[in-house]
Amino acid sequence: MAYWPRYANNQTTFNLQPNHLQPSTKPPSTFNQTTFNLQPNHLQPSSKPPSTFKQTTFNLQPKNLQPNHLQPNYQKTFNQTTKPPSTFRQTTFNLIMTHILHIDASPRGDRSISRQLSNRFIQTWKSFYPDDTVSYRDLGHNPVPHVDEKWIAAAFCPPEKRTPELVEAIKLSDTLVDELLAADRYVFGIPMYNLNVPSTFKAYIDQIVRVNRTFTFDQTGKYHGLVPQGKKMLIFTARGGSFSPGTPSADYDYQEPFLRAIFGVLGITDITFIHAEKLDLGEESRQQSLANARAELEKAVGTW
């Protein structure tokens, strides 16, 4: 499988092929000073992993980069007619290094399936994108406390009016919110417990869902997320039963809908789930389900 750089942002130069520019790319007036947003499909399958793109220069032939080249039919025309000409100018692209917040919520260790999957994903991801950074939080083994009376008083008190005691009461919550906001992407491993998330993960959610920090609401009661747009979340769940559409328990999945709803309130709506189901429904189902989840995981490394 081929992997490719995803973004642009830190003074890295690329060899850009014409078909790297999507139809939606805004036609610039001059390509000398132009920054493109590189999406995964901008780089061809034969492209090498991002670290090897450093120090590579990208040359644009201005006359070939007219607005009509950015239309859907542009790719073919350009490919047929273009050779690297002497008039190429050098353009620098910026590579954004992604920061991932990785969280596990199972109290189990190595036997935890959700933990195995999230770790496997991060390891594979890092092998392809070694410049990406990862913060790790193990809620299963180091749970965060439930909110208490002082926490609530602090959270709903304007920051400038908080006493030192209230500041202290909400310190961990502030740290967790900062951590959440600092990440570009999220990879979570979450078991299903009693149709939903384990209480450890719920305690975490209670800490990060903070009015005026991660969400707000208007007079109509409508929520407005304060997490900047464009973040992505990948959630590995592990479940003893099966909750796929058409199965007897399909209506009992309160985990995925809850996670979509609560992170949606914060403004995180690009959420992908990989469910390892049927883990307690016999060895054959378990192995098949694990194989499916691992296959989805491998695919996600190339497409997420």
- Give the interface with ligand FMN as residue ranges (CB under 6 A): 106, 108, 112-115, 191-195, 238-241, 279-280
Place of tokens 């694990």: 290
Q: How far is the CB of 252 from ligand FMN (least distance, A)?
A: 8
CB of residue 136 to ligand FMN, shortest distance in Å = 16
For the record, the structure tokens of 182 come out as 């600092």
For ligand FMN, give the closer residue by CB, 112 or 173: 112
The Cα–Cα gap between 115 and 109 comes to 8
C-alpha closest to that of 267 among 219, 204, 212, 223: 223
* Closest listed residue to residue 58, CA positions, set 94, 96, 29, 24: 94
Query: 3-class SS at 270?
Result: strand
- Whichever of 16 and 293 has its CB closer to ligand FMN, that residue is 293
Give the Cα separation of 191 and 200 in Å (integer). Answer: 10
Q: Which is nearer to ligand FMN, 49 or 240 (CB)?
A: 240
* DSSP per-residue codes, 59-115: EE-GGG--GGGGSTTHHHHHHHH----TTPEEE-B-PPPPEEEEEE--S-STT-HHH
Nearest distance, CB of residue 147 and ligand FMN, angstroms: 22
Q: How far is the CB of 241 from ligand FMN (least distance, A)?
A: 3
Question: Least Å distance between CB 183 and ligand FMN?
Answer: 22
Query: Which is closer to ligand FMN, CB of 175 or CB of 194?
Result: 194
Least CB distance to ligand FMN at residue 67 (A): 51
C-beta closer to ligand FMN: residue 47 or 200: 200
Smallest separation, CB 29 to ligand FMN (Å)? 53
Nearer to ligand FMN, 75 or 118 (CB): 118
| Closer of 268 and 290 to ligand FMN (Cβ) | 290
**Contact (CB, 8 A) for 258 and 270:** no
The span from the CA of 95 to the CA of 8, in Å, is 4
How many residues would you count in the chain?
304
